[in-house]
Amino acid sequence: EIVLTQSPDFQSVTPKEKVTITCRASQSIGSSLHWYQQKPDQSPKLLIKYASQSFSGVPSRFSGSGSGTDFTLTINSLEAEDAATYYCHQSSSLPQSFGQGTKLEIK
Amino acid sequence: EVQLLESGGGLVQPGGSLRLSCAASGFTFSNYAMSWVRQAPGKGLEWVSAISGSGGSTFYADSVRGRFTISRDNSKNTLSLQMNSLRAEDTAVYYCAKGYYGSGQDAFHIWGQGTMVTVSS
């Protein structure tokens, strides 16, 4: 089973700041890594698929990079509406798995 | 518009059973594998099960294998999850999710609103 470890678990940031969230896989998953945003009492929303492919309708300030075992979600010029929990997800092998989540608080 | 709508959640006693449904619309349902993902209160996301577009292949997390059964009715555009021998640790919001490209191992680009399952005496 592939374990995904995100860091940090929590981050308090100010608007317009650049944010980087990392996701490390316990073994190589190629580029089968996806990122989601979840706000309280809402379903998760896909931001980035296959490590770096932006999903339709997602603001351009969200970007992803990485391959193999190390991946990064970057949010440029953070906005207040970006307050949420972010999850990575691997679909390379079964069972599929998610990272533990990174909660972003806006100061 | 592509939509997924779950139903069937509720309160059930430990050891009991519950059947969840997910009504799909806005896409050719039989062309896409579908998955169930759950989220315990205040916790992260956990993949539960997936089924191929034809229904011929099914996959489960170890935590539910042998207790849960995923199925689909392509004539009714409906995905189901039969949950037996429920435990307190199965308490969660259950989401159905659609893969982007159609395989069972894919990014989930459409999620339902979720249905809450509470296992408690």
Asked whether A43 and B112 are in contact (CB, 8 A), the reply is: yes
Arithmetic mean of pLDDT, A90-99: 96
8 Å CB contact of A49 and B61:
no
Residues of B in contact with A97 (CB under 8 A): 47
Supply the pLDDT for residue B102: 84
Q: Is A35 on the interface with B (CB under 8 A)?
A: no
Q: Is the pLDDT reported for residue B84 higher than 90?
A: yes
Asked whether A75 and A14 are in contact (CB, 8 A), the reply is: no
pLDDT, tens only, B7-66: 999 999 999 999 999 999 999 999 999 999 999 999 999 999 999 999 999 999 999 999
In the block, tokens 């594998």 appear at B33
Q: Is the pLDDT reported for residue B105 higher than 90?
A: no
pLDDT, tens only, B23-36: 999 999 999 999 99
DSSP state of B106: S
Q: Is the pLDDT reported for residue B101 higher than 90?
A: no
Short-list A65, A68, A82, A91, CA closest to A18: A82
Least confident of A2-11, A37-46, A77-86, B102-111: B102-111
pLDDT, tens only, A23-35: 999 999 999 999 9
Q: Over chain B, what is the mean pLDDT?
A: 97
8 Å CB contact of A96 and B105:
yes
Supply the pLDDT for residue B80: 98
Cβ atoms < 10 Å from Cβ of A41: 8
In the block, tokens 């970007």 appear at A63
CB-count burial class (<10 Å; 0-12, 13-18, 19+) for B57: exposed
Q: Which chain A residue has its CA at the smallest distance from B44's CA?
A: A100
Q: In this structure, is the dihedral angle defined by the CA atoms of residues A32, B103, A55 and A79, taken in order, positive or negative?
A: negative
Give the total residue count for chain B: 121
Supply the pLDDT for residue A33: 98
Q: Over chain A, what is the mean pLDDT?
A: 97
Q: Is A93 on the interface with B (CB under 8 A)?
A: yes
Supply the pLDDT for residue B104: 79
8 Å CB contact of B108 and A55:
no
Supply the pLDDT for residue B111: 98
